[in-house]
Structure 1
């Protein structure tokens, strides 16, 4: 599913803009507008970064941050708030935020700060993926196969990351679509097939086939399915 980012923001316009922009950059993004709901989402874990507002219904962002840091020192958190005084910034950073961005803000700056937070996780071994001869740097979103760089669109990149994170498994079309596109699969769209075709083409320019079609079941990534019933390429 690519890099997972939780956006906690109760302003609908700001949240919509941030979520849309991050998804266009290839991130897998979820959104919560309420403090308690956000805390439940954070507890579920698996986030590569959290973009957190300070003023929230039910529970404020600073309280959420302190609860998070009491149990998790590693998940990167970017405070995104209108509280721009020096004492507020100090309070937020001392409360456990990794970075602090004041509203109003430019999306390009937000994106750069998110990338910087993710790069900081590299020392914990969490920003590099690989399978077979495919390598992905999650922080820079650089992809290579057999040492040769591959230029992917945002959705092709997100699709590849999902495949690499789930190698040698049967992945249904519904499962892939809902994880990569963050939408319910209607069974009619050929969007997934088009992106798989293009991703295959780019990967196979540097090696053998890695994405295999399993008729009636979906796709697998990695070793050829061989003579298993219903498998095909």
Structure 2
């Protein structure tokens, strides 16, 4: 896992996360990376502090280590699940929990999921995979029927590899699809060319960065044709996908 800059000011939060880990390096680098990805993040160094923070400001999701200096993560989730839901005070015992831990045995996974964990990922982890899992858990727990991404009248179904605009199919190449998915998954956030290259073309890209501009142009011709403009250029920075402003 690598360090990242804090999230840019003025961008909408993708959700409020609580990171619970006793390792100082993790408590520094992981929240920084998650904030840069658009999340609002609180941090706790042990189980008791996690329970206090969750009660004071209920998170949308808890990233929970198992090995903590006071009570372990399994006891934390037991106590979270025992909390009643109170009107106007968040999710209560229904708060989603994603275990992020070095405890990697099959029995540990079974225990974590049996106690009510929504997902389980072991250290060391890939940051991109972790963020994808966070999005998946949040989508499931918000009651959405699928993992489809929707912005305005544009809809992308990652499982069916389908894209529609105003109900009409949009045919995309595999690279165009990955690019659109990345922009929609970060809707409202300005993505730099470097971020797009890293996430869409991955680390094996050694060509001309202007390929991003080329594929944005391809997408605009297919996605923005005949409807409100959704893909916008932020000069000197990169691109953002957002619905029309009032």
Matches within 5 A, 1:196-207: 206=244
Q: CA deviation at 1:156?
A: 6.0
Q: Which runs of 5+ in 2 are unaligned?
A: 1-12, 84-91, 146-151, 159-165, 167-179, 191-233
Residue number in structure 1 paired with 2:18: 6
SS in 2 for 1:100: strand
CA distance in 1 between counterparts of 2:187 and 2:29 reads: 18
Q: Deviations over 1:94-148 (max 9, x none)?
A: 11111111111111111111011101123179xxxxxxxx89x9xx9xxxxxx8x
**Is 2:31 the partner of 1:19?**
yes
Q: Deviations over 1:176-214 (max 9, x none)?
A: xxxxxxxxxxxxxxxxxxx9xx9xxx989x4xx76xxxx
Residue number in structure 2 paired with 1:46: 58
Residue number in structure 2 paired with 1:122: 142
- Alignment counterpart, residue 108 of structure 1, candidates 99, 105, 128: 128
SS in 2 for 1:123: coil
Matches within 5 A, 1:188-199: none
CA distance in 2 between counterparts of 1:119 and 1:155 reads: 15
- Normalised by the length of structure 1, the TM-score is 0.54
Note the aligned Cα RMSD (angstroms): 3.7
**Is 2:78 the partner of 1:58?**
no
- Normalised by the length of structure 2, the TM-score is 0.52
> Kindly tell me: are residues 157 and 57 of structure 1, through their superposed partners in 2, closer, same or farther at Cα, counting changes over 3 Å?
same
Residue number in structure 2 paired with 1:90: 110
Answer yes or no: is the 8 Å Cα contact 2:47–2:73 preserved in 1. yes
SS in 1 for 2:138: helix
Residue number in structure 2 paired with 1:32: 44
Q: Work out which structure has the larger RCO, using CA pairs closer than 8 Å and 6 or more positions apart in sequence.
A: 1
Q: CA deviation at 1:30?
A: 1.0
CA distance in 2 between counterparts of 1:60 and 1:203 reads: 41
CA distance in 1 between counterparts of 2:106 and 2:242 reads: 49
Residue number in structure 2 paired with 1:224: none
> Kindly tell me: are residues 95 and 73 of structure 1, through their superposed partners in 2, closer, same or farther at Cα, counting changes over 3 Å?
same
Answer yes or no: is the 8 Å Cα contact 2:187–2:242 preserved in 1. no
CA distance in 2 between counterparts of 1:123 and 1:62 reads: 25
CA distance in 2 between counterparts of 1:10 and 1:155 reads: 32
CA distance in 2 between counterparts of 1:203 and 1:90 reads: 40
Answer yes or no: is the 8 Å Cα contact 2:188–2:242 preserved in 1. no
CA distance in 1 between counterparts of 2:60 and 2:81 reads: 15
User: How many residue pairs get matched?
Assistant: 154
Q: Which runs of 5+ in 1 are unaligned?
A: 126-133, 141-146, 159-194, 211-233
